[in-house]
Amino acid sequence: MKQEEVNCCQIQEWYPKFKAVSIKTVIHELPEPFIQYLVEDAGPFLLPVSVSNEDAFPNRIHKPEDEEDYQVSEGSEDESEQPLPPPSFPELELKIKESIETLGGAVFPKLNWSSPKDSAWISPTGTLKCTSFSDIALLLKSSDSVIHDLCHAYDSCSDKSLLRPSHFYLALRKWYPSLRPEMEFRCFVYAQQLVGISQREVTTLYPTLQDRKNELKDLIHDFFMDNIHGRFISENFTFDVYVTKDTRIKLIDFNPWCASTLPLLFTWEELERDGMAGQDVDFRIVESQLTVRPGLKTAVPYDYIDMRPGSGWDQFLRNADEELQQQTRSSEASV
């Protein structure tokens, strides 16, 4: 795999060309201080101070006398023990707030290549749904997938000459609450030919897919030929799609043809063999409980043991409490 093949899968590279068949997205270039904040793993885990709601984070300084807590006394023998001021990115936050409103009030985030799916556990909804800058920062800061984008994107490249891209981008993608996970598929293209299609959510058996295999295979193949074939510059790549209730196809993402991209119900050896043999498209779904695959293994990072105000775990607990209160109010209103 070449660096060029990795680069063309960045969302800021492919989205402008394919936006007509994708989901609505707003892309922001990220300032370097925010990138350093995401990468930094020393010290307590703190979320950025919100400029739109000063009471949202108890670690913001409200009283002049509190400033003493953030000052290092002259002659201090151990400056490392002094509390660090919370990070703040007001310009970025305001831009993101405007974009969230433009996209209907809720989004899911993605960097150049990856969404922070592995950190969905910290969200009070258990999803990537974000309605604020702090929601987005919490997911990004907690994600190993994001760290891979930031530090290891080119590790598998045979012509590796870059440690990281020169610029990072945050893509805010419109949140759709009623998406059906069984209708998302990963498609594998070898030598510009579609060779395989796999159910994307392989941790569950969806019996309704059994009767629609041929229909879905034809729909996705036609979409590939009409919209992607010959338009994406790589010879070998993958792309993810979603099939709507009215059988329209929405392009979700592109990924490089490499080990860091999950082959799901295939192996890379199978896909390459079928591609070289010029076989017909192989469409695979979970056929029985025996073929269900394990999900992504996640664990709570050690940093979340930090329970101090403003810590990641503190924010998680407060988010969960707010979500519970909203659900309770909704239930009472419907009685």
d(CA 26, CA 30): 13
Which pLDDT value is given to residue 17? 97
The pair of structure tokens assigned to 178 is 């009623």
Four-residue CA torsion sign, 67, 68, 72, 77: negative
Closest CA relative to residue 37, chosen from 94, 87, 93: 87
- Which amino acid, one-letter code, is at 192? Q
d(CA 229, CA 28): 28
Treating both helix axes as pointing N-terminal to C-terminal, what angle do 133-141 and 90-102 enclose, rounded to 10 degrees? 110
What residue segments make up the domains of the chain, in order of their start?
3-59+86-176+300-334, 181-291
Which pLDDT value is given to residue 240? 98
CATH code assigned to 181-291 = 3.30.470
Which pLDDT value is given to residue 296? 47
Which pLDDT value is given to residue 70? 35
Which pLDDT value is given to residue 267? 94
Contact 76, 83 (CB under 8 A): no
CA angle 293, 210, 197 (to 5 degrees): 60
d(CA 234, CA 242): 21
Which pLDDT value is given to residue 162? 87
Closest CA relative to residue 142, chosen from 127, 163, 121: 121
Torsion of CA 104, 107, 111, 113, to 10 degrees: -100
Per-10-residue mean pLDDT of the chain, 335 residues long, equals 94 97 98 94 70 46 41 48 76 97 97 94 92 96 92 91 93 94 97 96 93 96 98 96 97 92 94 92 92 58 42 53 61 55
The pair of structure tokens assigned to 91 is 């310009």
Count Cβ atoms below 10 Å from residue 224 Cβ, excluding itself: 21
d(CA 31, CA 276): 43
Q: Pairing between strand 193-199 and 169-174?
A: unpaired
d(CA 189, CA 230): 11
